[in-house]
Amino acid sequence: MSAAVFVLLSLAGGIGAVARFVADGLVRSRVAGAMPWGTVLINVTGSLLLGLVTGMLGAQLLSPELQVVLGAGFLGGYTTFSTASVETARLLQERRVLYALGNLLGSLVVGSAAAALGLVVGAAL
């Protein structure tokens, strides 16, 4: 990896983390309740975008370097599996089993479907 790609990867990761913070804050300020909708939205949109980036790489519309910067950098900073895991565990501790299952399975199923959609769209561009 070149020094330029490393710097861009690092900057993109920081920008992705800031985008996650802002998006989560916007969702939390508008939607109340036990379900962590901000994290769900972030991970589903991140999955869609990573599928799109990967599909575009496969269709040779993106360079491997740009895929690393966007995928591992920005989207790696934007998405957050660890937060989703902690939120699911917190819901279980609070005995909100249906919310925990919805968070876990919903994020996994919808996120995977979004990633698949992104792959198809990215490859078709």
Query: 76 among the known binding-site residues?
Result: yes
Convert the chain into a string of H (helix), E (strand) and C (coil): CCHHHHHHHHHHHHHHHHHHHHHHHHHHHHCCCCCCHHHHHHHHHHHHHHHHHHHHHHCCCCCHHHHHHHHHHHHHHHCCHHHHHHHHHHHHHCCCHHHHHHHHHHHHHHHHHHHHHHHHHHHHC
Q: Is there a binding annotation on residue 88?
A: no
Tokens of 122: 């990215």
Give the single-character DSSP code of 33.
S
Annotated binding site for Na(+): 76, 79
Annotated binding site: 76, 79
